[in-house]
Structure 1
Amino acid sequence: MGCLPIMEKGKPVACHRDWPLFYMNDFSRLGLVVNRLAEALTVLRSGGFTVHEQESGPQVEIADREQLAEVLGALSRHGLNCEMSDLVSCVYQG
């Protein structure tokens, strides 16, 4: 499936290099938004998930929808709030 970006709720989203230079409302970038980023990354790594540290931020490797459910479950079991969100909607476009 690929890698899913992870960001901390309430923190500014950096403009990622892989986003188009110009885009309209129909562009989105799905990612995980967590309440405590550092703790979430620790939980994922200790749970055996592959987490990549990119210049644009951390990403978790997801092979299929079952593994996505496992990621969400691991975060939830550790008391972390996590939601799937459109990260582009978090960026000021003024």
Structure 2
Amino acid sequence: MDVQADQKPIYDERANAILRGLVEGKTRDELAKELGYKNYKTLDIYMRRKNFKWDRDKQNYVPAYSRVDKQDMDLALLRSSKVATV
């Protein structure tokens, strides 16, 4: 998967503080208040602008380019199968 420069996550001071806070067990709502955001949605917008996506399973932000959607994975498997070569 080729990642362009504009898709790489931006680890600035605030993004690192958010990631660190989540690892420490704080909620997104708590972090939003600490950092001066109205609510967690505003914090989420900030992280999306820094090329992160919320991962429900991990309960943390992950780089957007590293997440492989199931549909994309299915298409990749189809392309590499014997059916695709016929």
Query: Structure 1 length normalisation: TM-score?
Result: 0.27
Task: Give TM-score, length-normalised by structure 2.
Answer: 0.28
Greater relative contact order (Cα < 8 A, sep 6+): 1
- Which structure's residues are more often helix, by fraction? 2
Relative to its length, the structure with more strand (as a share) is 1
